């Protein structure tokens, strides 16, 4: 007999969340270190090497290296590149770029995952506003994470925040549950309808990751089969935090 089973969202115990907090803090720490290395002239390949060294020095493992064949530790995406930029020794960062670093670790069997878009030196007013709006949309999503709210409330908060300022949210990539696997149930879209979707309960851990475009929401994958860029070539930004639902509300795990 076949019957419909709703996808299972794995709830984490307090002890599991303690481990995920260590993983999340490590990712936050390494993103901070990489930000300090984002000088004009540095290559994305050099940054990736630093990321791997830092992960190893904490006794952790890189989560993305080898994931579905991904060839590096971090995803480093510049300007119109949205996600999954592959670090290269011939790709140099320039003053005025915005650079997204997305990185994951595995620590005692649990994943940590976070991303941020950083300005390199002085960037355009357009870029500055994009970064602010994308960060704000993540903050407004986190403010909705509490028991009793539904996932659609979180998704909608991101969408409203971005669209009200005239930006578009990407449809093709979404956030996710996270735990013993990098991608667990439920998918966490950056768009949606309030009062829909699974109800949030303590023990859920979500990777919430708004991806916001200055132009249209359409993106495409380049011939390297990884790098995702905006179709119109305009700027985009991506911020990701791992958030645990608690009895009172939530706790952001990817902070120092």
Distance of alpha carbon 96 from the chain centroid: 22
Q: How far is the CB of 66 from ligand MF3 (least distance, A)?
A: 9
> If contact means CB under 5 to 8 A according to the sort of partner, which of ligand MF3, Co ion, none does residue 144 touch?
none
Q: How would you label 43-75 residue by residue, b for 16+ Cβ within 10 Å and e otherwise?
A: bbbbbbbbbbebbeebebbbbbbeeeebebbbb
Neighbour tally for 161: CB within 10 Å:
23
> If contact means CB under 5 to 8 A according to the sort of partner, which of Co ion, ligand MF3, none does residue 184 touch?
none
The DSSP letter of residue 76 is E
Q: Is 239 in the site for ligand MF3 (CB under 6 A)?
A: no
Q: Which is nearer to Co ion, 113 or 251 (CB)?
A: 113
Q: Is 242 in the site for ligand MF3 (CB under 6 A)?
A: no
Which residues in the 198-227 window bind ligand MF3 by CB under 6 A? Answer: 207, 209
Of 1, 68, 90, 248, the one binding ligand MF3 by CB under 6 A: 68
Of 17, 19, 75, 168, the one binding ligand MF3 by CB under 6 A: 75
* Cα–Cα distance for residue pair 161/70, rounded to 1 Å: 32
* Cα–Cα distance for residue pair 256/253, rounded to 1 Å: 9
Residues that bind Co ion (CB under 5 A): 113, 207
Q: How far is the CB of 125 from ligand MF3 (least distance, A)?
A: 28
Q: Return the C-alpha torsion angle 116, 121, 127, 128, nearest 10.
A: 80
Which residues in the 81-110 window bind ligand MF3 by CB under 6 A? Answer: 84, 102, 104
């Amino acid at each position: 007999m076949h019957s419909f089973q709703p996808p299972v969202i794995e709830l984490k115990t307090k002890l599991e969340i303690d481990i995920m907090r260590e993983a999340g803090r490590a990712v936050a720490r390494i993103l901070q270190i990489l930000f300090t290395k984002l000088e004009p002239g540095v290559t994305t390949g050099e940054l990736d090497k630093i990321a791997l060294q830092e992960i190893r020095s904490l006794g952790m493992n890189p989560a993305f290296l080898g994931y579905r064949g991904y060839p590096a530790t971090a995803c480093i995406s510049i300007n119109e590149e949205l996600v999954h930029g592959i670090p290269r020794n011939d790709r140099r960062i320039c003053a005025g770029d915005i650079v997204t670093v997305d990185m994951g670790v595995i620590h005692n069997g649990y994943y940590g995952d976070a991303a941020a878009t950083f300005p390199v030196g002085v960037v355009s007013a357009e870029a500055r506003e994009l970064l602010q709006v994308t960060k704000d949309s993540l903050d407004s999503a986190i403010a909705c994470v509490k028991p009793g709210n539904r996932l659609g409330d979180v998704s909608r908060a991101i969408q409203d925040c971005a669209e009200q300022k005239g930006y578009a949210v990407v449809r093709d990539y979404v956030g996710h549950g996270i735990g013993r696997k990098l991608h667990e149930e439920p998918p966490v879209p950056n768009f949606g309808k309030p009062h829909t979707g699974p109800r949030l309960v303590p023990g859920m851990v979500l990777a919430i990751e708004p991806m916001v475009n200055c132009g249209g929401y359409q993106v495409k994958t380049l011939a390297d089969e990884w790098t995702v860029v905006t179709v119109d070539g305009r700027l985009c930004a991506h911020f990701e935090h791992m958030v645990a639902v608690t009895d009172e509300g939530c706790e952001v795990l990817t902070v120092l």
